[in-house]
Amino acid sequence: MAWRRSRAGSSTSRAPCGSKRSCPWWPAPPRWSPRSSSSVVWCADLARLRAPEVSLADRWQILRRRWRLLLRLAIGPAVAYLVATDALDHRQAFFAPIAAIITLMAGGGARLRTVIELVIGVATGVLVGELLILAIGRGAWQIALVVVLAVAISTILGLTGIALTQAATSSVLLTAVLPPPGSGNPAVTRFSDALVGGLVGLLCVLAIPRHPVRDIDREVQGILTRLAAVLTLVASGLREDDSTQADRALASARGMQHMVDSMRSTTQNAAEVARMSPIRWRQRQHVELYASAVLDVDNAVRDARVLARKTSALLRHREAISPDMALAVDALAAAVEVFADDLSEQDDFEEARNELVQAARMASLALPEAVTMNSAAIAAQVRSLAADLLYASGYTRDEIDERLDF
């Protein structure tokens, strides 16, 4: 039996919590002894928990997929520095390449906003810094005063995120870094460097764009493939009256959250690229199809978690369930695979819609005469998951209600 520390008790007071892996409290190690089997088991569990989730081969594949980012990072900062030094004759053009990197590394769908925030933040910082420097000069206490006022004024103006950070750093650099003779006004230099770096970074993204459809397709297809596997495992548990398979399905579904988060980020990035880069304009319609389905796919994953949890509870309590319920969940898994193919190929979803509706109908008909809370919940989650993917296929709420009215 696994144990956890009691919240109200001391470190020696313990309460059972099901399993060590599901326990929200770290298990206290047993007193070490070379002959103690519990010590060996605890160390083995610790090694598993601390094992890296991403292998070296996986990291290499990630690096290979980032070749466009590496190329942009090689070109963008260098071009920004070249423009600032040669075209604008700035002798300390260190912020131009920095601004380019900030723009290139911005989160998905946020690059244009990042450029705007950079410029606004720098403008606010240099304005506050320049006005104060003219009055009080440079020094340690001057830096403290300039930073506080820059952040205070930026907050009053409603600046957040990068804009607020750049307002503070710009005011510090303007106060602390003494410009070389003949280098011009440092406030103007800093502002123009931010503008040059941000625009160069943005142009690099547009000139060397990611492949938005391929990127988002890889993320969504991975989620749908795993979702189908979760449903197949749930169906197997129902068919074999084995709650451990439902527990495994639940663990797998819970482990999909990082995939969902990655899908959302990739979708934002892909939508931005397809909207702004002329090279990818022809892919906008397919990207919009994926983008409209992301929320519904996320909801389908959540429904799968509930379905697996209710299935486990039903099997553990030995509640009666028709064998047809397993067939309904199997049919739902098959429908998910058809939906994935239709989404990837921009098909009309007709086959996927029919199979989703059929799976929901099978689950409703499989309910026993003596309905329990768990059996009703299983049928409801099959229907709910089917409805989410019908939404993703482009159905309206009225159309879904009509198709699932049985």
The pLDDT tens digits along the chain (406 residues) read: 343 333 333 333 334 444 434 444 344 444 444 444 444 443 444 444 444 466 788 788 888 878 888 998 999 999 999 999 998 888 778 888 988 888 787 755 555 676 677 677 777 777 777 777 777 887 888 888 888 888 888 888 887 777 788 788 878 877 777 766 666 677 677 778 888 888 898 888 888 877 888 888 888 999 999 999 999 999 999 999 999 999 999 999 999 999 999 888 888 878 877 887 787 888 888 888 888 888 999 999 999 999 999 999 999 999 988 999 999 999 999 999 999 999 888 778 999 999 999 999 999 999 988 789 999 999 999 999 999 999 999 899 999 999 998 7
Query: In the prediction, which pLDDT does 112 show?
Result: 65
Question: Cβ distance 17 to 24 under 8 Å?
Answer: yes
Is the distance from CB of 338 to CB of 351 less than 8 angstroms?
yes
Residue 109, pLDDT score: 54
* Residues 374, 347: Cα–Cα separation, whole Å: 36
Whether residue 339 contacts residue 347, with contact meaning beta carbons closer than 8 Å, is answered with no
What is the pLDDT at residue 189? 79
Fold of 212-403: Methane Monooxygenase Hydroxylase; Chain G, domain 1 (1.20.58)
Please state the φ and ψ torsions of residue 105, each to the nearest 5 degrees. -95, 5
> Could you tell me the residue ranges of all domains in the chain?
67-207, 212-403
The CB density around residue 350, as the number of other CB atoms within 10 Å, is 10
What pLDDT sits at residue 266? 83
Q: What's residue 105's pLDDT? A: 79
Q: What is the pLDDT of residue 114?
A: 67
Q: Are 316 and 243 in contact (CB under 8 A)?
A: yes
Q: How far is CA 86 from CA 102, 155, 290, in A?
A: 22, 36, 44
pLDDT reported for residue 1: 37
